[in-house]
A and B are shown apart, each in its own frame.
Chain A
Amino acid sequence: MSLKNILSEKKDELLASWFDRILDTYPVETAKFLKNQKDRFANPVGQAIHKGIGDIFQELLQNGDIEKVSGFLDSIIRVRAVQEFSASQAVAFIFFLKSVIRDGLADISLTPELYDELATLESQIDSLALIAFDIFMQCREKLYDIKANEMKNMTYRLLQRANMVTEIKDAEKETNFIAIHKKEVNS
């Protein structure tokens, strides 16, 4: 029996244990809520994590399609990127999977073939972590973009209305640029 088959059989128990490990990163009261409230609209964080790890696990055992896995990772990391976690804490949940799997295999004597498979799988999990860092950074950069855009929109509109800036369109190059005309305040 291959490692992936073994893990497939133990899927429910492994996912439950992975979910619990992630919930442990939250305060006790919060973890209880995240675990017990099953309505996806009343508990979007808990349900996003629950669904996300299930999808990641499934994809890992099947094709390991990077694009698909990225989407699943995004659904969890986008949340943790704005919660009170450092970067390492936000993405650490990927590594939990390694110990969850090792613990889950404790009662099975691993043959050299299984060891090889396990090493490959763990290496795949490591690459997930690398993708996770990218996603985390994208989320944080998005936040800074949003902050900057809010500021830009607010001030630009005011300047425009005060006739302090004029937007000139360059039809040929299809680019816009802002020309700031100094205006004599007292003229």
Chain B
Amino acid sequence: MAKLPKPEELLQINYNPPPTEDWMDRPVELKQGNFCWGAKGKNLAAVEFPNARDWTPVEADWKLPKDWEGTVLEAMADRLSKYRSFKVFMDICVRCGACADKCHFFIGGGDPKNMPVLRAELMRSVYRKYFTTAGKYLGKLAGARELDLNVLKEWWYYFYQCTECRRCSVFCPYGIDTAEITLMAREFTNLLGLNTDWISGPVANCYMKGNHLGLEPHAIMNSIEGMIDDIETITGIRINPSFNRKGAEILFVTPSGDLFADPGTFTAMGYMMLFHELGIDYTWSTYASEGGNFGFFTSNEMAKRLNAKIYAEAKRLGVKYIIGGECGHMWRVLNQYMDTWNGPADFMEVPKSPITGTVFDNAASTKMIHVTEFTADLIKNNKIKLDPSRNDDLVITYHDSCNTARGMGLLEEPRYIINSVCNKFHEMPDNTIRERTFCCGSGTGLNASENMEIRMRGGYPRANAVKFVRDKHGVNMLANICAIDRATLSASMDYWVPGVRVTGVHELVANALIMTGEKERETNLRGEPLPGKGGNE
């Protein structure tokens, strides 16, 4: 029989965390629920990443290559000379603390090392030791420390607890982009084969098959055909999208999550219904079949390699320009990096709407526009017929996805569309939307299941604002324009704000869209009775 503790032993519960010593002296402790499983060797080998082997974060031996310290420091020196921003961000922080309480992981979890300033300090301390005179000679006095295994584990643990959402950078008086520091940390850890399974699997899949899920052409077509069947059931209209068609005017690229994961699939149905109604000349590609880019969470070089297929496919098919679907980090990559990585795309034309004639000069160089820009322009020019009352059972709020809001300033278009296709829309509080939007808590490849605790913690500030509008206005639907949001906010709502579901903006558009020749619609895209049909009132 197990020994029963005595009453006085039971009273010895320590309710408080251990006394806090200096953060530098506190060894990192990897807690389950906060990190993702380690990468598999086969996935690292598939893309020729270094030190490809299976590894487990909780084991003491991380099977690191010889002289891993040298590898990291050499890479750090290289990036410091290559990227001026990285050098400036290492030097310029005055530790004013403006960013400290702006990170969703710190706000929801309370771990001080998730304060952006302290998270960055994990790397700055090493930078000082090896790259500044003061740090070299004064060591800890100058806030410097040596790179050792504990430091490396701390980097890995905390830089994979940052979603690169850049909320903190909005508040930094110097404009330090903490996401870029995380990007660097991930580059360095990636050089040692320290990636996660949830990231490296999709990267390998994308490299080999064109999309994160590893869907081969027939699977993509099969999935889309399933959606076409559903669309026919709902509208009576059979649509016929084309695949890999040379000579099409437009190539359409969306995150592969839209093809398989509900509620993303309803968003994908929405795109297709809209494009069919307009009769535009577009094609899907089963090769450039991924708008997202998990390579962006490993290294600059890998992100570039995965991104290359979009222009390559546009060139092969001879399209005039590209429309991209609703996705978050996809758009940071497309808007800020694609042009310099794989451009100039001078074999295409500046995007021009075939329906309204609007020229999208903002994409003059990349030749790729966001589908909400395209749709907002249609509505503005009164080119589609809409019945917003079909969405009357929904009380909607809008979550600005971090990358589209802060990464490319796409703030008005989604709102304009939602207000045109729905009658009941309520904003969340000001300090939780637009540039100051809170992350879903699961971006940058943190949307695995094994790290559910940290996802929920990180998702709390967003969910808390949703809860407020649910209680105040009866909000029951959270709209967004990001595939990761659609998947992860569903989980977050389930835990924090039951009763609120998640939708892409184009699902709402398609519900309201009056299509030529459609039968009287009885249900929405989810197969649920429309308001006023089937006792839904």
Which A residues are closer than 8 A to B by beta carbons? Answer: 24-30, 33-34, 37, 39-45, 48, 78-79, 82-84, 88-89, 92, 96, 139, 142-143, 145-147, 149-151, 153-154, 157-158, 161-163
Contacts and interface: CB of A to CB of B under 8 A. Distances in A.
B431 interface: yes
Residue from B13, B107, B487 with most neighbouring chain A CB atoms (10 Å): B107
Nearest to B438: A41
B15 to A, nearest CB: 5
A147 B452 contact: yes
Interface of B: 13, 15-17, 20, 31, 34, 100-101, 106-112, 115, 213, 219, 222-223, 226, 260-262, 265, 429, 431-432, 449-450, 452-453, 456-457, 460-461, 464-465, 468, 487, 491, 494-496
Contact of A44 (B15, B450, B461, B495): B461
Contact of B107 (A27, A42, A84): A42
Contact of B222 (A40, A92, A161): A161
Given A42-B431, A82-B457, A162-B219, A29 B112 contact: yes
A157 B261 contact: yes
A82 B456 contact: yes
- Cβ-closest 8 pairs across A and B: A44-B464, A30-B110, A82-B456, A29-B112, A147-B449, A92-B15, A82-B453, A146-B491
B115 A153 contact: no
Given A27-B112, A28-B20, A143-B452, A153 B226 contact: no
Given A27-B17, A29-B112, A83 B457 contact: yes
26 contacts: A24-B16, A26-B17, A27-B20, A27-B111, A33-B100, A33-B101, A34-B110, A39-B431, A41-B431, A43-B101, A45-B110, A78-B496, A82-B452, A83-B110, A83-B453, A96-B15, A139-B495, A142-B494, A143-B453, A146-B452, A146-B494, A147-B452, A153-B262, A157-B260, A157-B261, A163-B222
Given A29-B115, A143-B495, A45 B449 contact: no
Contacts of B457: 82-83
For the complex, would chain A's binding face be called helix, strand, loop or mixed by DSSP majority?
helix
Nearest to A47: B464
Nearest to B463: A44
Nearest to A86: B13
A142 B493 CA distance: 12
Contact of B16 (A25, A29, A146, A151): A25
A42 to B, nearest CB: 6
Nearest to B18: A27
Contacts of A41: 429, 431-432, 461, 464-465, 468
A72 to B, nearest CB: 15
A157 B262 contact: yes
A45 B107 contact: yes
A60 B106 CA distance: 32
A109 to B, nearest CB: 27
A88 B10 CA distance: 11
A130 to B, nearest CB: 16
B109 A44 contact: no
Given A39-B431, A82-B453, A157-B261, A44 B111 contact: no
Contacts of A154: 260-261
A162 B457 CA distance: 35
Given A34-B110, A41-B461, A147-B449, A25 B17 contact: yes
Nearest to B222: A161
A158 B260 CA distance: 7
A96 B450 CA distance: 32
A160 to B, nearest CB: 8
A24 to B, nearest CB: 6
A43 B109 CA distance: 11
B468 to A, nearest CB: 7
Contacts of B115: 29
Residue from A25, A40, A146 with most neighbouring chain B CB atoms (10 Å): A146
A142 B497 CA distance: 12
Contacts of A158: 213, 260
Contacts of A149: 491, 494
A88 B106 CA distance: 22
A44 B449 contact: no
A148 B413 CA distance: 36
A44 B262 CA distance: 29
Nearest to A140: B453
Contacts of B16: 24-25
Contacts of A147: 449-450, 452
Nearest to A80: B110
Contacts of A37: 101
Given A143-B452, A161-B219, A162-B219, A44 B108 contact: yes
Contacts of A34: 110
Contacts of B222: 161-163
Given A79-B108, A82-B495, A139-B495, 6 more contacts: A25-B17, A29-B112, A41-B432, A78-B496, A82-B452, A83-B457
Contact of B112 (A30, A48, A142, A146): A30
Contacts of A89: 13, 15
B107 A44 contact: yes
B106 to A, nearest CB: 8
Residue from A27, A79, A82, A153 with most neighbouring chain B CB atoms (10 Å): A82
Residue from B17, B111, B461 with most neighbouring chain A CB atoms (10 Å): B17
Contacts of B465: 41
Nearest to B223: A161
A41 B20 CA distance: 27
A83 B464 contact: no
A43 B107 contact: yes
A171 to B, nearest CB: 16
A153 B265 CA distance: 12
Contacts of A145: 494
Nearest to A145: B494
A17 to B, nearest CB: 15
A37 B97 CA distance: 14
Contacts of B13: 88-89, 92
Nearest to B17: A27
A92 B15 CA distance: 7
Nearest to B447: A150
A92 B17 CA distance: 13
Contacts of A28: 20
Nearest to B431: A41
B15 A25 contact: yes
Contact of A146 (B464, B468, B495): B495
B110 A27 contact: yes
